[in-house]
Structure 1
């Protein structure tokens, strides 16, 4: 009988040790997570308005930075597929285009005028030849011409260029 009670005490003591070890490990993990969140906050200083800076000046600063804005990309909904004449034979070209714009306002304006932009790009693309498109310099010239024409079209409609760059994200010539 005494031997059985000693075994029960040893088993109970062993499970208590396991509980203490597991509890300690969980406590360490919780403490590490708390410390991570406390010390991983933003290190950028918070700007406060001084007496000299008024609220209207702060709004003007925000608007000027919004005019510059972050780079946003507006994808044309469909790739452009068109024929181009070549020296030996005509070729079919497929170009996928995205437009680089700055700020949310220009993104919305570009999305609003996608049909105008598509028409302008297609008219520019149709004036090229397969020989020009076979070189990287010819592709770059086409991209810059497309940018000039799109900016001119947007300038006439919206009063600003809106589009900063025309990017070819896919280019296939067969």
Structure 2
């Protein structure tokens, strides 16, 4: 009986070692798989390009643009509330405008010239047809007009920078 106990204990000891080995191998496989997935998702190597396309790209000088930084959003506070021309379905427009850029010079310009910019934007908003603003195309047209107005004012005052986009974060017609 004592022999049987020793045999059982010996088998258990060997089985525990196998379990540890399987566990370690499994962890190594998981780590390698995770590393491979991270490499794949993070970009890895660029695919090789056609030789002619790569040469043409190298020969063309790249235009030097102003350095672009992190995305910057400038909320023009307070919201704009304007009366719309009579005759349309809505009589009032309440709109919150946020400007997107990647250059600090643009945010500085907007902060320094807020009263002048608000004046021009109020005039633009008051001239809009409420029937047109009810459509998606009308809102997009107004969005483009706001971006052009702000960019033109920057250029008139010889200010560097580019406004990438204008967003209406709140848009209410009543």
Where on the TM-score scale, by shorter chain, does this alignment land: which range? 0.5 to 0.7
Q: 1:77-115, CA deviations, whole angstroms, 9 ceiling, x for partnerless residues?
A: 4332222243277622122323344x4255444554461
For the 8 Å contact 1:71–1:100, the answer to whether it is kept is: no
Q: Counterparts in 2 of 1:1-174, with a 5 A limit?
A: 1-33=2-34, 42-44=44-46, 64-66=64-66, 69=68, 72=71, 74-78=73-77, 79-87=79-87, 91-101=91-101, 103-113=102-112, 115=114, 116-136=116-136, 138-159=138-159, 162-163=162-163, 165-174=165-174
Q: CA RMSD in A?
A: 3.8
Q: Provide structure 1 residue ranges, at least 5 long, that are not aligned to the other structure.
A: 46-59
SS at match of 2:95: strand
CA distance in 1, matches of 2:88, 2:111: 40
TM-score by length of 2: 0.62
TM-score (norm: length of structure 1): 0.62
Deviations 1:126-158 (A, max 9, x none): 233434434455445544443443233222323
Q: Secondary structure at the match of 1:99?
A: strand
Distance (whole Å) between structure 1 residues aligned to residue 105 and residue 6 of structure 2? 81
